[in-house]
Structure 1
Amino acid sequence: MPRSRSSVSTAPPSASTTAPHPPSTNAPSSAPLLPAPTFPPHTLPRTWLITSALTPIGQSVARHALRHGDNVVGCVPNYLPSVDIPGVEELLGGWEKFEEDIERGGLEGKGEGRGSGAGIEGIEHGERNAGGEEMVGEGEEDAEGEEDDGGEENCEDVESEAEKTKGAAAGQRNGVGKGKVMKPWKERWKKVGLDGRSVGQCQAAVAEAQASFGGGGADILFCCDGEALFGTVEELAASVRTQSLVREQFETNFYGPVNCIRAVLPSMRKKGSGHIVLLSSIINHLGTPGLATTCASGWALDGFCDSLAYEVAPFNIKISIVQPSMEVNLLTHKITAVPPSEHYSPDLNSIPTSREMIGGLLDRIEGSGSRRDPRKLTGEHTECLYPRLPAEMVESLIAETVHAVLAIGGHDNPPARHIVGFEGVATVKEKLKTVSEELEEFVAVSCAVDIDQEGQAVNGQDESLDEDT
């Protein structure tokens, strides 16, 4: 059976009126100091399949996995976003920097710029041999030194005793390959085109992972793609165009990951192991004004994975849902906002919407507008953009989430759900407290509908109920 769900993961929806905490607006001068990334113990290089290597989080996880000695299959859209969309130039600039790092092999140290993963401080690079190649350690020796199904090992034996000593020291840090030299990043990286809405393309990406690195295919599927759609329920129903955006949101946020998960299950089931890591958000616990469709698609996917976990547990396939704070997803993915309605303007509606919070934040980052009068996401026409955040802010924003994904990915007993960050934990606890209080307030009404064997209504306050509870 799957790992038992905690109270955080099983909380039912509530009518709580608690508004989500607004995101922090202070851009840090430097990334937070976090421990060096930790990886679960393993002997052979794992193969990661990352569904969106174009996003900062996808790039950062890929960088650290490659640095650790793993293989990575990174998926990118078949057609890159149009440069006419605000923020695309910065997004593509980060992608170009990432590809340059892949070609260099990452030997110059931590990358800089959008999505480089430099926000995780204290990372220890493998020792280098005389040729400048990175070295890592080994856990247990492979049985009789057999190669993987791909016909090649990612590490080559080191002849020098001194280099073996260095490799052993590095192996104590990351647990892969004592006395061996890692291949360059570009030999352990494979880029593939992917539109998650296409079942065939998802199957092709999974097949590419097996063809490129063998070993039975992807060991870890990291679903990190998604988009945000700003607009109240009424605003999203205002026209045919806005209604189509709702359907597109579910195609991207729900059916995209579902298609990738379906495609990878046969290979994981066949080899008897695998781990599916899903990047979600705490708004899938809360409900957030102005993000109803985004929350709905996220809740649907979380429910899908909760049910799937029971189905695939006998095959030793694990599923983990990583839930960072709201701004981690909203500020690192594509944002679409429909025209606002005057009925939901701040003057008439006292509940702040996510449109106002995020729009005001983006204005202040770019030095225009204010929280009370945001300019972004409030235009007369549908807006589409990628948030333009300073590189150091992006690194700081995603650092905790990346750290969590690296520590969980491939773990023998991973959590079913992982809330990232103190603020996220506090927010979810507050929601669960509200649910518990409402349950206690109406417990008599809930239990009054119970019927005993003789057809008599059971009093919700009787002694038998008290004994059961």
Structure 2
Amino acid sequence: MADADGSPPKTATHNSPRTWLLTAALSPLAVRLIRRLLSHGDYVAACLPPHEIEHRQRGAEFRELINECRSARRDREGWKDRIRGIRCDGRMSSCGAAIAEAVQLFGRLDILLCCRSEAVVATVEELSTTPLTQNLVRDQFESIFFTQVNFIKAALPILRSQHTGHIITLTSIGGHIGIPGMSMYTAATWALEGFCDSLAYEIAPFNIKVTIVQPDKEIQSLTNRLTFAPQMPAYADVFNNAPSIRDMLVNVLNADPETALPESFDFEATPSTPDSMSLEPDVVRGEVLHRYPKLPPGAAEKLVMETVHALTAIGGHENPPSRHIVGSEGALAVKEKLKTVTEEMEDFVDASLAVDIFDGEMTDEAGGSGDREEESGIGLPSPNV
């Protein structure tokens, strides 16, 4: 229950109204999560990245939500007083201002949900062809890693002074499994998860919890901005054993005329020099393309609701998990990866032990005699060598 003045209570338990701050609130997942939180009686500070606000398609569902909050519907009563949209570009000063505004308005901050995500789709070599594609590497880390770290750093003084709080980072199973064609997305995800793993130990004495939530990679990639670097012909058909992530995403985009990629997406290429005999031509034409996938009616709902349920169940829990994989398919994929790693480690240990035994047998055969070592050339080198 809220206090008499309408503000959230000074302490929040798992089942009482909590104050959330979402670092990016325009995705289909974020909009559906906000609806769930408001219906529960929670308070929401919704951060709006400026470059997404200006995108007509991207902000449509959020604007619809705000209209619902302002409507006279009885099942939406009080919603407009429990949500605040805050323009925030992810820089440290902007994040600090957003945190301060949320605390000033709602009195406290219980849950910081780091949910901003964008994916750069390209192989490592495709990100090295031009200065523009090289900058995509920095852009990828900026969107997934640095902006979320800025939010966390800005929130820590508030959470520490409260001696309670919960930081949830929404990533993907890309935090466990490498994805060919999305190397920088995977790298930035691993960086953020490693940061959170270390952070959890540092802030545990202040009763601040940290949870990493990992849905399938499709959930994040199909509900956020995709950036495509020009494709090198050498990589066009190299993944013959399975469909490439690039092809799958392109197929989704091409299913809707508004998001379809141009026919010139198959970029022209020539050797790097006229006299070059290289069989691996460099891309010299083609533009970087940005798209927000537009899913068929009802598809977004099915895609994200399991993750929405997991976030609402975990958020503010008195004893939340440090890591949660959403969905059985993702859990099985990670389990298989960890099983493979374990088997490789065991094989390496066995091979290493065999080498150690072989070295020991060599020493035994040498008889341990200094004279024998000198004769055979085995032993410590001369100080003069």
- Same topology, TM > 0.5: yes
Matched length = 332
C-alpha distance in 1 between matches for 2:221 and 2:327:
16
Contact 1:52 1:224 in 2 (8 A): yes
SS at match of 2:176: helix
Question: What does residue range 68-217 of structure 1 map to in structure 2 within 5 Å?
Answer: 68-80=40-52, 82=54, 88-104=55-71, 107-108=74-75, 133=77, 184-196=78-90, 198-214=91-107, 217=108
Contact 1:289 1:352 in 2 (8 A): no
Identity of aligned residues (%): 45
Does residue 1:263 correspond to 2:154, yes or no? yes
Q: Which amino acid aligns with 2:248?
A: M
C-alpha distance in 1 between matches for 2:336 and 2:262:
28
Does residue 1:281 correspond to 2:172, yes or no? yes
TM-score (norm 1): 0.66
Q: Which amino acid aligns with 2:22?
A: I
Partner of 1:114: none
TM-score (norm 2): 0.79
SS at match of 2:247: helix
C-alpha distance in 2 between matches for 1:74 and 1:367:
27
C-alpha distance in 1 between matches for 2:137 and 2:129:
12
Contact 1:48 1:73 in 2 (8 A): yes
Contact 1:359 1:376 in 2 (8 A): no
User: CA-to-partner distance for each residue in 1:50-89, whole Å, 9 max, x for gaps?
Assistant: 111111111111111111111111110235455xxxxx43
User: CA-to-partner distance for each residue in 1:262-311, whole Å, 9 max, x for gaps?
Assistant: 11011111111000011100012110000000000000000000010011
Does residue 1:395 correspond to 2:301, yes or no? yes
Question: What does residue range 343-422 of structure 1 map to in structure 2 within 5 Å?
Answer: 343-346=234-237, 352-364=243-255, 380-422=286-328
- Cα deviation for residue 347 of structure 1 reads 6.0
Q: Which amino acid aligns with 2:95?
A: C
Partner of 2:373: none
Partner of 1:325: 216
- Cα deviation for residue 377 of structure 1 reads 6.5
Q: Which amino acid aligns with 2:306?
A: E
Contact 2:171 2:214 in 1 (8 A): yes
C-alpha distance in 1 between matches for 2:342 and 2:73:
50
Shift of the 360–273 alpha-carbon distance from structure 1 to 2, 3 Å rule, reads same
Contact 1:447 1:458 in 2 (8 A): no
C-alpha distance in 1 between matches for 2:215 and 2:237:
27
Q: Which amino acid aligns with 1:71?
A: Y
Whose RCO is larger (CA < 8 A, sep 6+)?
A: 1
Does residue 1:440 correspond to 2:346, yes or no? yes
C-alpha distance in 2 between matches for 1:353 and 1:97:
35
- Cα deviation for residue 366 of structure 1 reads 5.8
C-alpha distance in 2 between matches for 1:94 and 1:290:
30
- Cα deviation for residue 405 of structure 1 reads 0.2
SS at match of 1:335: strand
Partner of 2:226: 335
Shift of the 406–347 alpha-carbon distance from structure 1 to 2, 3 Å rule, reads closer
Contact 2:252 2:293 in 1 (8 A): no
C-alpha distance in 2 between matches for 1:418 and 1:276:
13
Shift of the 107–91 alpha-carbon distance from structure 1 to 2, 3 Å rule, reads farther
- Greater fraction helix: 2
Contact 1:363 1:375 in 2 (8 A): no
Contact 1:448 1:458 in 2 (8 A): no
C-alpha distance in 2 between matches for 1:357 and 1:333:
15
Q: Please point out which of 16, 19, 23 is paired with 1:47.
A: 19
Q: Which amino acid aligns with 1:428?
A: V
C-alpha distance in 2 between matches for 1:377 and 1:275:
43
- Cα deviation for residue 356 of structure 1 reads 1.2
C-alpha distance in 2 between matches for 1:263 and 1:367:
38
Partner of 2:31: 59
User: CA-to-partner distance for each residue in 1:16-55, whole Å, 9 max, x for gaps?
Assistant: xxxxxxxxxxxxxxxxxxxxxxxx9546421101111111
Shift of the 425–106 alpha-carbon distance from structure 1 to 2, 3 Å rule, reads farther
Shift of the 448–211 alpha-carbon distance from structure 1 to 2, 3 Å rule, reads farther
Contact 2:14 2:318 in 1 (8 A): no
Does residue 1:247 correspond to 2:153, yes or no? no
Q: Which amino acid aligns with 1:89?
A: R
Q: Which amino acid aligns with 1:386?
A: Y
User: CA-to-partner distance for each residue in 1:90-121, whole Å, 9 max, x for gaps?
Assistant: 32221221111121276357xxxxxxxxxxxx
Q: Which amino acid aligns with 2:254?
A: D
SS at match of 2:341: helix
Q: Which amino acid aligns with 1:91?
A: R
Shift of the 347–58 alpha-carbon distance from structure 1 to 2, 3 Å rule, reads closer
Q: Which amino acid aligns with 2:122?
A: G
SS at match of 1:242: helix
Shift of the 376–296 alpha-carbon distance from structure 1 to 2, 3 Å rule, reads farther
Structure 2, unpaired ranges of 5+:
1-11, 268-285, 362-385
Contact 1:235 1:339 in 2 (8 A): yes
- Cα deviation for residue 346 of structure 1 reads 1.0
Q: Highest CA radius of gyration, 1 or 2?
A: 2
C-alpha distance in 1 between matches for 2:213 and 2:17:
23
C-alpha distance in 1 between matches for 2:134 and 2:110:
38
Partner of 1:34: none
C-alpha distance in 1 between matches for 2:150 and 2:360:
46
C-alpha distance in 2 between matches for 1:106 and 1:438:
59
Q: Please point out which of 177, 183, 192 is paired with 1:292.
A: 183
C-alpha distance in 1 between matches for 2:51 and 2:257:
28
- Cα deviation for residue 439 of structure 1 reads 1.2
Structure 1, unpaired ranges of 5+:
1-39, 83-87, 110-132, 134-183, 451-456, 460-469
